[in-house]
Amino acid sequence: MKITLNDVEYVAALARLDFSPEEKEEQAEELNKILEAMETLNKINVEGVEPLAHVLSLQNVLREDALAEPTPREKILSNAPESDEGMFRVPRIV
């Protein structure tokens, strides 16, 4: 498959991009290089290779829940720029 200038113009119009004629040719060349690389990858024998969702095996690292004393409200509010009646006071956003 080869990317033509018409293809570049079509996609550029969809993306509302305005390319000069030189840029259109440059984009077509770059996209064709990408397609050539993909063709090289398509030639690789992958029979018997399981598909991957991620290169590394992922697993959640969980810890045991442990009860602890809650942090005192006064200590939490000591870092607040303003507080009122035991709550954070923030500017009104309306």
Q: Per residue in 3-15, pLDDT tens?
A: 999 999 999 999 9
pLDDT of residue 47: 92
* Per-residue confidence band for 69, with pLDDT thresholds at 50, 70 and 90: very high
Question: Where does 5-42 sit in CATH, by number?
Answer: 1.10.20
pLDDT of residue 72: 93
Every domain of the chain and the residues it spans: 5-42
pLDDT of residue 50: 87
Q: Which residues pair with 87 in a beta bridge?
A: 84
